[in-house]
Amino acid sequence: MPHAFNFQVSPFDCLTAEQRRRVRDSVDIEFVPADRVMLAPGQAPEHLAVLIQGHVQQWEGDELVATYGPDDCFDGRALVTGVASHRFVAHGEVLAYRLPRETVNALITENATFAALLFADLSNKLAALSAHHQQHEMHSLTLARVDQAVLRTPQYVDAAMDIVSVVRLFTGQRITHVLVRGVGEDEGLGIFTTAGLQRAILDGRPLDRLPVGALASHPLVCVAPDAPLFDALATMIRHRVQRVVVRAPEPGSPILGVLEQVDLLGFLSNHSTLVTRQILEARSLEALQAPARQITQVIGLLQRGGTKVGLIARLVQELNALLFERAWQLVAPAELVAHSCLFVMGSEGRGEQLLKTDQDNGLILRDGYDAPADLDAICQRFSQALADFGYPECPGRIMVSNPEWRHAAADFGERVRRWLLMPSADSLMSLAIFLDAHAVAGDAALLAEVRGEVFKLVTDNDALLARFAAAINAFEGGGGGWWQRLFALEEGQDLLDLKKAGTFPLVHGVRSLALAQRVQATGTVARIEALVAAGALEAGLATDLVDSLHFFMGLKLKLGLAALDAGQPPGGGIDLARLTSLDRDLLKDTLAVVKRFKQMLRLRFHLDAL
């Protein structure tokens, strides 16, 4: 009766003390010689194998599907279904625990987390893992809803009320804002806050005759009552306001209250509010250095606190956009800012960047605008500022400091048309990058105008779409491709490049489907949702793709933060031997989703005919 069973690895780390005792009492050890078939297709398994030493290969016909090493287990799904569908073969001598089927079935019945981690599909497995490790999260900012926070009762005044009377109301009611009726052309609602008093004084008119409606801000910045508080935080950052109005999105919905930034502070476990204020108050590029560094600290705090990676990415996108915009305002004349659009691309444009990566940005100038004579120097200074903030220069020079990525709107539109109508490897790469563009400063309508050229010209050109989509195979080379290299057993194998193996084919595959369907969203998740709504992507696969993307992002973030903690730069490949058994298991599941997605794309775009 062995007592060295490792209960620190998945799925056994979720067992209770009594359940662990049951495992110790029933488990046995077996030695398996090299090349022996441990489980064959059609065979009814009698036990769950948990490897102690050696490796086992899983085969589907002649294709290697997976390789299991120490602390890995198989085949939980076969135990549930009663029959194996794959062949498991000892690769060299193997030493393994044998946990009887009866014991496993009892654990499955008693422990839902164990059951999900053992044999559930990817979505349920990740959901069970999240529930197991983040039971406290319901009380955190990430899952709390807006209507669970303290909402201030709205106070209404008419637009004709004078500022002095409003100030008396502020003092008497101990409030910092009022909602103003009859503001704007549609006689809607506006908001006036204590911050507006400065503008009222500078207006010059007597305050007892200055109507509050003249200074009220409108339209209102609103959030839904059932939205996560994290969305409210991101909205405040994006609109640079300290409060949002809470109402359902349906027309005519009543206002339920006002959520103030100060009331969010009780939910915050990070310094994002401080970072936002430092960025907005910065009067020099040097003053932006500190908040640029603190963005990474915020990310680390959120990750260690169990915040979902998609929410972290959402916040990072807003903070980075604020940082880039302020830096651009500090180096570019106000007239240039007003007559141009600074945009970001790549993972930053899609809202999927976490830790700092290479710069990918460009600039569109308004047609007819005479750019400053020192435009090149301005753009060089901006790119250098981002590099000083920790965003390295792009090796491919896809930056505003490169004249190839700054043009007037008409010229940029002509370049986009050439990318489409005269496709080459370089032009299709540029097109793919540009499809992810997201405005961060200046006139966003300029970017929308140029991006619109893509969707005007995209037709049902199967040859063009196929060439565009074919990039999903760009990183598959000899030696069986990344799938085989992932499960190779020899020493000294190259580290797994997660971007090439998983993230890029997933992201670009979704991007290709979005282009074919003329979906203008830039984020991968938003594109997936639009494709499902259009009937262009099956809902089950869509869920697996979102889960896989977030797993890739989370794994890269975890390893990147660990590298920073060790004083090393993040990035590089993944040493599979250093992953936990759970991460290896999830990595196999997610890469299997990518493989299935690529097979679907090959059929959709007829890639095998290229």
- Angstrom distance (rounded) from CA 19 to CA 538: 39
68 phi-psi bin (left φ>0, alpha ψ -120 to 50, beta other): beta
For 610, the token pair is 């290229």
Give the gyration radius of the chain's Cα atoms: 28
For 361, the token pair is 């940005």
DSSP letters, 528-566, are HHHHHHTTSS-HHHHHHHHHHHHHHHHHHHHHHHHHHHT
Residue pair 298/398 in contact by the 8 Å Cβ criterion = no
Beta bridge partners of 189: 181
Query: Nearest Cα to 33, choosing from 86, 84, 93?
Result: 93
pLDDT of 187 reads 63
- Whether the predicted pLDDT of 225 surpasses 90: yes
DSSP letters, 257-290, are EEEEHHHHTTT--S-HHHHHHHHHH--STGGGHH
- Angstrom distance (rounded) from CA 401 to CA 379: 5
- Angstrom distance (rounded) from CA 315 to CA 231: 9
Q: Is 497 helix (H, G, I), strand (E, B) or coil?
A: coil
pLDDT tens, residue by residue, 403-453: 999 999 999 999 998 888 887 888 888 899 999 999 999 999 999 999 988
Residue pair 314/302 in contact by the 8 Å Cβ criterion = no
DSSP letters, 234-249, are HHHHHHT-SEEEEE-S
- Angstrom distance (rounded) from CA 562 to CA 157: 53
More confident position, 345 or 72:
345
pLDDT tens, residue by residue, 315-361: 899 899 999 999 999 999 999 999 999 999 989 999 998 988 889 99
- Whether the predicted pLDDT of 604 surpasses 60: yes
- Residue length of the chain: 610
In terms of DSSP H, where are the helices of 251-399?
261-264, 272-281, 289-304, 309-331, 334-338, 346-350, 375-389
- Angstrom distance (rounded) from CA 379 to CA 363: 9
- Residue in the block written with tokens 């993944």: 574
Residue pair 232/222 in contact by the 8 Å Cβ criterion = no
Residue pair 27/2 in contact by the 8 Å Cβ criterion = yes
Phi, psi of 563 (to 5 degrees): -65, -45
Checking DSSP bridges between strand 87-100 and strand 28-32, what pairing results, if any?
A: antiparallel
- Angstrom distance (rounded) from CA 169 to CA 211: 14
Q: How far apart are the first and last CA of the chain?
A: 59
- Angstrom distance (rounded) from CA 389 to CA 356: 9
DSSP letters, 209-233, are TSBGGGT-B-S--EE-TTSBHHHHH
- Angstrom distance (rounded) from CA 503 to CA 545: 10
Distance of CA 15 to the CA centre of its chain: 31
The CATH class of the 146-236+244-258 domain is alpha beta
Q: Is 338 helix (H, G, I), strand (E, B) or coil?
A: helix
Distance of CA 269 to the CA centre of its chain: 20
More confident position, 531 or 8:
531
Residue pair 398/405 in contact by the 8 Å Cβ criterion = yes
462-609 carries CATH number 1.20.120? yes
Mean pLDDT for 58-78 is 81
Q: What angle do CA 584, 589, 590 make, to 5 degrees?
A: 95
Beta bridge partners of 362: 343
Please state whether the predicted TM-score (pTM) of the whole model is above 0.85: no
Share of residues in the chain with pLDDT > 90 (%): 46
Amino acid at 488: A
* Angle in degrees, 0-180, between the axes of helices 112-119 and 122-133, rounded to the nearest 10: 140
pLDDT-based confidence at residue 130 (cuts at 50, 70, 90):
low
- Residue in the block written with tokens 């990070």: 270
Query: Nearest Cα to 431, choosing from 455, 409, 408, 449?
Result: 455
Q: Which sequence spans correspond to the domains of the chain? A: 12-119, 146-236+244-258, 272-457, 462-609
pLDDT tens, residue by residue, 177-195: 999 998 876 568 999 998 8
pLDDT of 491 reads 41
Residue pair 263/243 in contact by the 8 Å Cβ criterion = no
pLDDT tens, residue by residue, 374-383: 999 999 999 9
pLDDT of 88 reads 94
- Whether the predicted pLDDT of 489 surpasses 60: no
Choice among 233-247, 355-369, 508-522 with the minimum mean pLDDT: 233-247
Checking DSSP bridges between strand 156-158 and strand 177-183, what pairing results, if any?
A: parallel
pLDDT of 476 reads 66
pLDDT-based confidence at residue 584 (cuts at 50, 70, 90):
confident
pLDDT of 265 reads 58
pLDDT-based confidence at residue 78 (cuts at 50, 70, 90):
confident
For 494, the token pair is 């190259």
DSSP letters, 435-469, are TT-EEEEE-HHHHHHHHHHHHHH--S-HHHHHHHH
User: Any idea which fold 272-457 has?
Assistant: Beta Polymerase; domain 2 (3.30.460)
Task: Give whole-number Cα distances, 469 to 396, 418, 454, in Å.
Answer: 21, 18, 16
For 352, the token pair is 């999927």
User: Any idea which fold 12-119 has?
Assistant: Jelly Rolls (2.60.120)
